[in-house]
Chain A
Amino acid sequence: MTRNFYLALCIVAAAVPTARAAGPRTAPAPIQLPPLVQPASGETHPGKVIWADLVTPNLKQAEQFYGALFGWTFEPIDGDTNFAIALNAGQPVAGIVQRAMKAGQQRQPAWLTFIAVRDVAAAQRSALANGGKVLSAPKDYAQRGRQAVFADPDGAVFAVLASSSGDPPDVLAEPGEWIWSSLLVKNTDHETGFYRALFGYDVFDLPPEDAADNSHHVILASDDYARIGIHSLPADSMHRHPHWLNFIRVDDAAAVAVKAIALGGKVLVEPREDRHGGQLAVIADPSGAPIGVMEWAGTEEAEGTAGDQPDLPGAQKGAP
């Protein structure tokens, strides 16, 4: 009797996956991502960083950390219980994706940067023609738009998005929103050429602010706004993989850094004054994903003296 039971169990167990294999492969239900902008803006700002997704092995932990740190709230996504949208003051600000990490892989959770494009296919052609790679082919999401993931020539990973609801307007980020994105790479010249070709940026070399700094810093702009910075990796971090680092605007970077530690995170770069006169810091969430926090005073009167600096000699006049 027992033998017959095990025999029947084995046959049934074997039949189920076999039947799945034999039948047509059904794609999982598509993720219902919300529109990037509500109501639709009708604006397009190619080259602007318009979204970021965190890929993490622990969605709940991420929600607790970022909720406590920035005051974000979270909404689940239809069609995927491992995906949540983070809201800042009720406005979508980021996606959080839970995926298992394979043991033994030399990889870490990270924020994936999304940059606006008008035409994802054209962006793909440009990326390939200029030394990039396509990591995930263009894909449509009903309300979100069309997006793809590329690696630049240095290997830094980023995404492009042609938003079907338009891009967010060019306004100063509120606290809790993305305010800036930096790309840390080994070859700034090559990388600058790649991103300029892809997004049509204007390029501005920044002179070193300190004789001790041998790094190369470039600002890439579109619509007369600074969009991203490209920076050579610090000399003693050259072994680090080139990567994007996105910053959330905060009122007090030092206080946020302290709070991050209390919430199970780490401080990777201690709070320090940056070129705009405000403080910034780099922290890691409990899963290890790096994220920047940056102060930004809304008016020049409220900021330090950095805003009153005269133009530096490297500036050039005339049309580009």
Chain B
Amino acid sequence: MNTLKLSVAVLLLAGLGACAVEGGGYDGDVDVGVGVGYVGDYYEPCCGGYGGWGRGYRVGPPRGYGGGGRGPGHSAPSIPSHSRSGGGGHGGGGHGGGGGHH
């Protein structure tokens, strides 16, 4: 019986040792997630409610010029507007989205 207990103890100790060398974490450095090696795996700190976006809260790009040189008034450019098939023109349509250039 004592031999059996000893074996179980050896098993537990060996298991702990294996865990120690196998490691884990986010490439072994910081606690940002649950990664096991791939450089892009992480879970984001949370939580908290989403939203609260008031009436004037805008997060999208402006529709202005883009990619064809500075737009009128040196305003904020837009996203690319050329289609992959070659259609479309410069800018996201319309004129500048406003805003001052730093």
The answer to whether A308 and B55 touch across the interface, beta carbons within 8 angstroms, is: no
Give me the 7 closest cross-chain CB pairs, A-B, nearest first. Answer: A210-B56, A307-B94, A300-B93, A213-B56, A312-B98, A17-B18, A315-B73
| Residue contact B61 to A229, C-beta cutoff 8 Å | yes
Does A318 sit within 8 A of B, measured CB to CB? Answer: yes
User: Which residues on the A side are within 8 Å of B57 (C-beta)?
Assistant: 210, 213, 215, 231, 234
- Contact partner of B59 (CB less than 8 A), chosen from A102, A157, A182, A308, is A182
For residue A149, CB closer than 8 A to chain B, the reply is yes
The reply to whether the CB of A11 lies closer than 8 angstroms to some CB of chain B is: yes
Q: Which residues of chain B from 66 to 102 have a CB within 8 Å of any chain A CB?
A: 66-70, 72-84, 87-88, 92-102
CA–CA, A231 and B36, complex, Å: 32
Query: Are A307 and B93 neighbours in the complex by a CB distance under 8 Å?
Result: yes
Residues of A within 8 A of B48 (CB): 237, 239-241
- The reply on A121 being an interface residue by CB < 8 A is no
Of B46, B53, B99, which contacts A234 at CB under 8 A? B53
- The secondary structure that dominates the A interface is mixed
Task: Give the CA-CA distance A275 to B60 in the complex, in Å.
Answer: 6
- CB-based contact B76/A206 at 8 Å: yes
Residues of B7-31 contacting chain A, CB below 8 A: 7-8, 10-11, 14-15, 17-18, 20-22, 26-27, 29-30
Partner of A155 from B29, B37, B45, B56 at Cβ < 8 Å: B45
> Could you say which residues of chain A place their CB within 8 Å of the CB of B93?
297, 299-301, 303, 307
Say whether A223 faces chain B, with CB atoms less than 8 Å apart.
yes
Contact partners of A114 in chain B: CB under 8 A: 40
Q: Once the chains bind, are B79 and A172 in contact (CB under 8 Å)?
A: yes
Kindly specify which of A36-44, A65-73, A131-139 makes contact with the partner chain.
Answer: A131-139
Question: Contact between B82 and A170 (Cβ–Cβ < 8 Å)?
Answer: yes
* CB proximity of B12 to chain A, nearest CB, Å: 9
Residue from the set B36, B37, B41, B49 with the largest chain A CB neighbour count within 10 Å: B41
Given the complex of chains A and B, what is the CA–CA distance between A255 and B30 in angstroms? 40
Closest to A232 in B: B57
With beta carbons under 8 angstroms apart, the residue of A147, A219, A241 that contacts B61 is A219
Q: Are A136 and B76 in contact (CB under 8 A)?
A: no
Given known contacts A205-B100, A275-B97, A303-B94, A55 and B41 CB-to-CB distance under 8 angstroms: yes
Contact of A101 among B29, B34, B83 (CB under 8 A): B34
A171 CA to B81 CA in the complex, in Å? 6
Q: Across the interface, name the chain B residue whose C-beta is closest to A91.
A: B84
A204 interface neighbour in B1, B43, B100, Cβ under 8 Å: B100
Q: Is the CB of A157 within 8 A of B44?
A: yes
Contact present for B80 and A171 (CB under 8 Å): yes
Of the stretches A92-100, A122-130, A257-265, the one at the interface is: A92-100
Tell me if B102 and A317 are in contact (CB < 8 A): no
Q: Is B36 a contact of A208 with CB atoms below 8 Å?
A: no
